[in-house]
Amino acid sequence: MTRAVIFNADDFGASPGINRGIVHCHAHGVLTSTSLMVDASAAPAASRLARTHPALAVGLHWDLDGMRAAAVDLHDPVALRAELERQLTAAERLLGRPPTHLDSHHHVHRRPEVEPVAREIAQRAGLALRGTSPVPYIGGFYAQWEAGVDDLEHVSVAALTSILATELADGWTEIGCHPGFVDEDFRSTYREPREAELATLTDPAVRAVLGDLGLSLASFAELDLGSAGT
């Protein structure tokens, strides 16, 4: 049975440095997919970069908690649906095509008042939605498991090797990541680990581990929802 790995970077569009880092990881590492924040200041630049890297799958990173877009009342189903649809339309306009997949900042789409609407939109659009599609999501490649405390060991080559060796089932798996070059004016509680993630994702040792484990790289652009689990 095929075992394929999608490395997906969140926060495409968050800043010029994040954009450059994501594209660098795609061109020189194992990154295959990313998710665009359509209301972020560098989203137009991200969409232009995407056009120069056609093999990079670009999905939509819904922002519902006011990080880059205006916050929406998640308990107002009419406003919620309108905002989800607005951001989907914005992604299509920026990219010049539909996004390849759907997820959200801080996984807000998994909240019980949001998930049914997000799932309905994903099904209508024929797109994979993180956490509900046949592609399991692994979020352990992350350096901040205590608020405000960076532990870069969690995004080291050794940590990623352990994830690849022990946590993947048969079929397709998405591994989430947040690489980037950190600009001085980039505002986030997650800063230094982004460059550490970038170093790991471009380390030749990771590609060697993939080969040793019989894992192939894949992207959401290649995903057939009917056979992703096989």
Q: All domains of the chain, ordered by start, with CATH?
A: 3-222 (3.20.20.370)
Nearest to 139 by CA among 86, 197, 75, 208: 197
Arithmetic mean of pLDDT over the chain: 94
Q: What is the pLDDT of residues 49-92, one digit of tens each?
A: 999 999 999 999 999 987 677 788 999 999 999 999 999 999 99
Q: What is the pLDDT of residues 26-55, one digit of tens each?
A: 999 999 999 999 999 999 999 999 999 999
> How deeply is 153 buried, as exposed, middle or buried, from its count of CB atoms within 10 A (0-12, 13-18, 19+)?
exposed
Structure confidence at residue 67 (pLDDT): 67
Structure confidence at residue 230 (pLDDT): 40
- pLDDT score of 1 more than 70: no
| Structure tokens that stand for 159 in this block | 């940590």
**Sign of the dihedral through C-alpha 19, 21, 27, 31:** negative
CA distance linking residue 168 with residue 227, whole number of Å: 17
